[in-house]
Amino acid sequence: MFVLITYDVATSSEGGVKRLRKVAKKCLDHGQRVQNSVFECVCDATTLAQLKIDLREIIDEEHDSLRFYILGKNYRNKIEHYGIKDSYNVEGTLMF
């Protein structure tokens, strides 16, 4: 299942910069960054449930905002990109 994760972390609040880094790192464990605070993940329901728990533990719900958008399995024709960093196959093999 394809999930889009977007977040705003209040870097001006105490510990905000550290939270921002940790949120990005946790999202990178499961997906690919497509914009500064926008990540695309393909994962199963169990992994997503755990990722939500992990991310909620990192953010400060008084200051930060975290959103999940579930696009499901047939997501490829639901996404359009214009500009730099063209889209890529989030399920494609990563070449290192």
Residues that bind a copy of itself (CB under 8 A): 4, 6-8, 34-38, 52, 55-56, 59-72, 78-85, 87
Are the C-beta atoms of 75 and 3 separated by less than 8 Å? no
8 known member of a binding site = yes
Residue 32 C-beta: closest distance to a copy of itself, Å: 12
What is the 3-state secondary structure of 16-68? Answer: HHHHHHHHHHHHHCCEEEEECCEEEEECCHHHHHHHHHHHHHHCCCCCCEEEE
| CB nearer to a copy of itself: pick between 11 and 96 | 11
- List, as residue ranges, the binding site for Mg(2+): 8
- List, as residue ranges, the binding site: 8
